[in-house]
Chain A
Amino acid sequence: MIVAGIDVGGKNIHTVIMKNGDILAKAEAPSGIKKGEAAEQLYNETLKQAKLKREDVARVVATGSAAQRVAFADGVIPDATADARGVIRLVPSARTIIDVGGEEGRAIKISPEGKVMDFAINEKCAAGTGTFVDTMARALEMPVEEMAKLSLQSTRSIPMNAQCAVFGESEVVGLIHQKTSKQDISRAVHDAIAGRIASVARIVGLEDDIVMIGGVAKNVGFVESLKRDIGADVVVPNDPDFIGAFGAAAAAAAGVVEEKVEAKVVEKETIEEGK
């Protein structure tokens, strides 16, 4: 059976087409504002890559913060569920998942069967996301990948604000003016984000094996900072940003999906009603 998974995040969309557990094609693109349209376009491209037509795919499952916008999906699953289903297939010993994307960082505790037991998400005033990394890289006038590699060269720890991205950026500018080396600033940025994510992860408790996924998992500087903060090793699977889509495809294969609910405005209730 051929199935597809689509992960529509705030920043990026990932698609995976799978047959009997093997990936036939995958693709990614920015989500943009019109996420539904972008998802459809990317899906069509992925089909082309796999040399398939829509009717060849038995089931499409969407996940991610904008999953409901995928008009052609047969169902949706929550993103943490997709993460869990994806990770457990690749790393059966996984018990803690740390997923850091563009707009959200989350930690998930899973059972040996891959069921979500507990989860925590970065809340307000939390700078532990990919967007924060991008902002800091811009302040340092270098690509994110370069900043990541540079951070590995630093041996100095500089505490930095990671509660508020605006404050954080101000501090980076301040460090630049103090002529702090770019290596040290890069490491400070990664340490700050890692600290935020580690604090979210500690809410669910850190149990081996700890698996890191999401776009920020490709950031070698962040992964190193995270390992240092939590004092433990982390497993980063290949293509960590595709794990959500992979998990959604796995859910499609297993036939475990929620019916898609049409987005609607719920009637406003007042405190007097009580009904």
Chain B
Amino acid sequence: MAKYKTKGLDCWGKAKELRMKYYKDYAEAHDRGALRWEGGAWTFDAIPQALEGEVHVLTEEPYGASCGANPEVQVRYQEAAEGKWGCARDLCAYLRSYWGSIVLDEFIFGGKWPKADFIFQNHICCSHAKWLQVAAELEGGKVPYFCFDVGVGAYDKIGERQINYVVGQLHDGIEFLEKATGRKLDDEKLIRNVYNTYRSACYWAKTCELNKAIPAPLDEKTMFSLYVLGTLEKSNEAMADFYEKELYPEVKDRVANQIAAVANEQCRMLGDSQPPWGFLRVFRYLEKYGVVSVASLYTFSLIGWWKVNENGNLVPYPTLEEQGITIKDRDHALRLLTEGELKGKLMWAPFYGATYKNDIVTKMAKQWKCDAAIIHLNRGCEGTAQHQMEMKIALANMGMPILTFEGNMADEREFDETRTHRLIDLFVSETLGLKKVAD
């Protein structure tokens, strides 16, 4: 007899639909005279998307993840990047799939590689700026390329000077966009996009906050398919509406009615980093033991914005509406966008030190009532894998049992499923002392 009620998400179909439309629009953009551009999931898409006319974006990491979810294709693309282009095998797994797609002139969603009209990127890890720099090279070297820097310090160090530096670059970026495309930036569109960005980011965080409930209404595996929309185009009205008006209310309702993600929840897990995309069944394996992954800095903060309140707790960042702010003009829009990204996106914080990551994950473990942690030591992404061993030490000091396993988010050649199962079996049965509760 299951411990809790459970059911699928009603808005699941809508999420799938939005995602597929996004990729279709990108592929068909030129057929309609629309612009298309390449950037990162962390790029401030509100800006290029404010160009007049129809504009579509391809964000690199979700594309890489889509390749990773299809191991046969992923290997072929990556071997093309390694063999034909000549890059090292330990580079970011997403990046290698992306480059390989271009080298083979294939788009994983069908057809040939859709070349971009321009590139608008920001620099986060060692790879991001270079990723699309090389992509531009592979696409013939003529694609206009703009990259801006956001490495100005963690969320508690953001002041006027830091915001001015980034906003200054964004103004330069707009000049670049207008020159590269021959189109003007529509300030009203920009303003709407910034409101939408806040809605996407803040309502995703509010949704994640609901996972504090016991039983958790969502499990991390499901959340991967939901946050992804924010990695595609946070500034998109339909995406923002999905987060605010469909997902968040539905999950709130699940909490009110004690509808669980996993019917036999008996152990709440803290995760970290991307999962091995081709092997998400690992989560289903864990669920046989009633283990559900309920929280993760990665899943919460890749698109979600948070702040640490006066009590030292992680709480969702407030939307512009909640702050009572009306955007006045272009500069104001850019400032607010920058402020939200730099202060709210806690995923930037580990880039500035292990103490930041440790602080956030230990707070998260307490607030989301996690019993244990499973850390995927992700060889495929240095950005999210930073300080994972320090995180382990910090959580162990809290008395939390932790399993680490090495793998790769999007390179199946680097993930040993059998071995991982062995480790999970040992951890779950011996260290956690759990018995199977489901088949």
Q: Is the interface of B mostly helix, strand, loop or mixed?
A: helix
- B137 interfacial by beta-carbon distance below 8 Å: no
Whether B379 pairs with A65 at a CB distance below 8 angstroms is: no
From residue A255, how far is it (CB to closest CB) to chain B in Å?
A: 15
Interface 1/0 per residue, A115-138 and B, CB below 8 Å: 111111101100000000000000
From residue B65, how far is it (CB to closest CB) to chain A in Å?
A: 7
Whether A269 pairs with B389 at a CB distance below 8 angstroms is: no
Whether A81 pairs with B12 at a CB distance below 8 angstroms is: no
CB neighbours of B414 from chain A (8 A): 124
Q: A271-B69, A275-B8 are in contact. Are A116 and B430 (CB under 8 A)?
A: yes
Whether A118 pairs with B401 at a CB distance below 8 angstroms is: yes
CB neighbours of A268 from chain B (8 A): 281
- B423 interfacial by beta-carbon distance below 8 Å: yes
Bound form: Cα–Cα A271–B285 in Å: 16
Interface 1/0 per residue, A188-229 and B, CB below 8 Å: 000000000000000100000000000000000000000000
Partner of B426, one of A119, A203, A270, A271: A119
Bound form: Cα–Cα A121–B431 in Å: 15
From residue A11, how far is it (CB to closest CB) to chain B in Å?
A: 16
Whether B284 pairs with A269 at a CB distance below 8 angstroms is: yes
From residue B242, how far is it (CB to closest CB) to chain A in Å?
A: 15
Partner of B65, one of A78, A258, A271: A271
Whether B430 pairs with A115 at a CB distance below 8 angstroms is: yes
Bound form: Cα–Cα A65–B224 in Å: 31
Partner of A81, one of B401, B402, B426: B426
Q: A65-B422, A78-B426 are in contact. Are A272 and B402 (CB under 8 A)?
A: no
Partner of A118, one of B281, B284, B396: B396
Partner of A124, one of B8, B277, B406, B422: B406
Whether B389 pairs with A203 at a CB distance below 8 angstroms is: yes
Bound form: Cα–Cα A119–B401 in Å: 10
**Size class of the A contact interface (CB-based, 8 Å):** 20 to 34
Whether B225 pairs with A274 at a CB distance below 8 angstroms is: yes
From residue A247, how far is it (CB to closest CB) to chain B in Å?
A: 12
Q: Number of residues in B with C-beta < 8 Å to the partner?
A: 34
Interface 1/0 per residue, B414-434 and A, CB below 8 Å: 100000001101110111000
CB neighbours of B221 from chain A (8 A): 274
CB neighbours of A269 from chain B (8 A): 280-281, 284
- A80 interfacial by beta-carbon distance below 8 Å: yes
Q: A117-B401, A124-B379 are in contact. Are A270 and B430 (CB under 8 A)?
A: no
From residue B293, how far is it (CB to closest CB) to chain A in Å?
A: 14
Bound form: Cα–Cα A193–B225 in Å: 43
Whether B281 pairs with A266 at a CB distance below 8 angstroms is: yes
CB neighbours of A275 from chain B (8 A): 8
From residue B310, how far is it (CB to closest CB) to chain A in Å?
A: 36
Bound form: Cα–Cα A119–B392 in Å: 12
CB neighbours of B392 from chain A (8 A): 203
CB neighbours of A271 from chain B (8 A): 65-66, 69, 224-225, 277, 280
Report the nearest A residue to B377, measured CB to CB. A123
Interface 1/0 per residue, B399-415 and A, CB below 8 Å: 00110101000000010
- B326 interfacial by beta-carbon distance below 8 Å: no
Bound form: Cα–Cα A270–B8 in Å: 16
Which residues 63-81 in B have Cβ within 8 Å of A in the complex? Answer: 65-66, 69
Bound form: Cα–Cα A120–B375 in Å: 12
From residue B24, how far is it (CB to closest CB) to chain A in Å?
A: 15
CB neighbours of A272 from chain B (8 A): 16, 225
**Can you name 14 A-B residue pairings with CB atoms under 8 Å?**
A78-B426, A79-B422, A79-B426, A80-B426, A81-B430, A84-B430, A115-B431, A117-B401, A119-B427, A123-B377, A124-B379, A271-B277, A271-B280, A274-B225
- The chain A residues found within 8 Å of chain B, CB to CB, are 65, 78-81, 84, 115-121, 123-124, 203, 258, 266-272, 274-275
Q: Nearest 9 A-B pairs (CB), nearest first?
A: A78-B426, A123-B406, A271-B69, A116-B430, A274-B225, A274-B222, A81-B430, A80-B426, A269-B281
